[in-house]
Chain A
Amino acid sequence: MSENWRPAASLATLRARAELMDAVRRFFRERGLLEVETPLLSAAAGTDPNLEPLHTRYEGPEAPSDGLLYLHTSPEFPMKRLLAAGSGPVWQISRVFRGGERGPRHNPEFTMLEWYRPGWDHRALMVEVAELVAAVAGPRPVRERTHAEAFASLGVDPHRDDAAALDAAARANGVTPPDGLERDALLDLLFSHAVAPELGHGRIEFVHDFPAEQAALARVREGDPPVAERFECYLDGMEIANGFHELADAAEQRRRFVADQQRRRARGQPVPPVDERLLAALQAGLPDCAGVALGLDRLFMVALGARRIDEVLAFPLERA
């Protein structure tokens, strides 16, 4: 008989989690944002080569031609369609799914809090993220640094250093890069091994203005160097949230989707279809807005002093 029928989290933690969930709901209700629900299943999916959507098969009326429906990796696309339809500020708590992600801070199914603020930029939204974190996990001082500033202590310029320089910097900082990493992956290696673990100890720490190649769905601000208007929030060395001053240009969005698809094809990854409905919504006009996705399980880990995500989940992967 398997002992794995029992929850991984203690019942006391699950009760505390329910109260934290209430605190999140109260935060958004008091601020007057509209709570929305969008589909978990879609015929289209995100194209980001570093996010692997799970999929399932639907047979029946109105099935897509290949029968495939993707489980969303975040509710971003349909929420932007609501914004383009004139919803005003919206928020949502949903389960999201990511293939290949399991570890002390990862479960392939987790709880995402996502919200959007029309008329705001990423800097304004960072302030509200800090307020939400304080409301749930208690107040801490806030520090904001640019991506370049966060890298400065490693002697790295993330905007200009080439792959060889990043490789050398990794070695100088005690990290041997696996063979064949591209420049982007080397930046991820340095960031995840040498920068992130030092962020957010005793404070809420934001890193913003990312290299343009790491814009994802953020707009790029022209300049020397051009920077992506994107931020990440860190607590106790752990990434909690990722936000954008949202890209609203349909042509630029299509160009990024196609570039992602080409990269996926080149790497032999599955190539999900581009979300044409999102592109049509951008074409119709997405209001100037900022949005953020925040991993609630991780925020609850910090609030409850848990070291592993399993401590705040009733049934993580191995017990699901």
Chain B
Amino acid sequence: MATYTTNQFKGGLKLMLDGEPYSIVENEFVKPGKGQAFNRVKLRNLKTGKVLDRTFKSGESVEAADVLETELQYLFNDGEHWYFMDTETFDQVAAGKAAMGGAEKWIKEQDICNVTLWNGEPLQVDPPSFVELQVTQTDPGVRGDTSSGGSKPATVETGAVVRVPLFLEEGEVIKIDTRKGEYVGRVKD
């Protein structure tokens, strides 16, 4: 079992606490001149996202969390799980809705996603930062309509809705920044 001592603590280190995987957000060394040294640590639960404070005795060892970030290819969704594959080993994993965290709005089959695995199970799925998706539904833009700030909603092939400029038409392919959920530009063929 791999362990870390408090001397190795730093932001981003992954630990096991009470059987759950955590990532260190902040680590502070606290010591009275004539007293016991402690590490006051802020940790994020990698399954629930909840942040908690924990104090360790300096020098104490803590079990390392077997967490791995890897790039996997999205295969399909069966209504409950989203399936991903390692393109070298062909190993497959299934991510539930909590791990998807909204990533499902942006991805198409064969897209490569950044997947955080703990004991081989997906904890978090990040879509590519930019995706190119076809507009499946949008109303025709009305020239001179400024009440909507020069934009209108458009539904793309994955079902997500983004605001696009008035000139865009159904069938066009657009580039989207998934971190902000925003239209970036039109993709010319």
Contacts and interface: CB of A to CB of B under 8 A. Distances in A.
Interface string A180-214: 11001101110111001000000000000000001
A196 B57 CA distance: 18
Nearest to B59: A100
A48 B34 contact: yes
B33 A239 contact: yes
A103 B55 contact: no
B49 interface: no
Interface stretch (A55-63, A134-142, A171-179): A171-179
Contact of A50 (B7, B36, B53, B55): B36
A104 interface: yes
A178 B30 contact: no
B35 A100 contact: no
Interface in B18-49: 28-38, 40
A222 to B, nearest CB: 22
Contacts of B53: 174
Contacts of B54: 176
B40 A188 contact: no
Given A178-B55, A178-B60, A242 B34 contact: yes
Contact of B35 (A106, A174, A177, A188): A188
B56 interface: yes
A25 interface: no
B58 interface: yes
Contacts of B58: 100
A191 B38 CA distance: 12
B36 A193 contact: no
Nearest to A73: B33
Contact of A188 (B36, B56, B59, B60): B36
A11 B144 CA distance: 59
B57 A192 contact: no
Contact of B31 (A176, A192, A242): A192
A216 B28 contact: no
A29 interface: no
A175 B55 contact: yes
B7 A193 contact: no
A50 B37 contact: yes
Interface string A150-178: 00000000000000000000000011111
A48 B28 CA distance: 23
A193 B40 contact: yes
A239 B34 CA distance: 11
A234 B54 CA distance: 25
A114 interface: no
A51 B55 CA distance: 20
Contacts of A101: 29, 31, 37
B35 A191 contact: yes
A106 B39 CA distance: 13
A185 B56 CA distance: 12
B55 A239 contact: no
A178 B56 contact: yes
Nearest to A49: B36
B57 A185 contact: yes
14 contacts: A50-B31, A101-B31, A101-B37, A103-B31, A104-B29, A184-B36, A187-B35, A188-B38, A189-B38, A192-B30, A193-B30, A193-B40, A196-B32, A216-B34
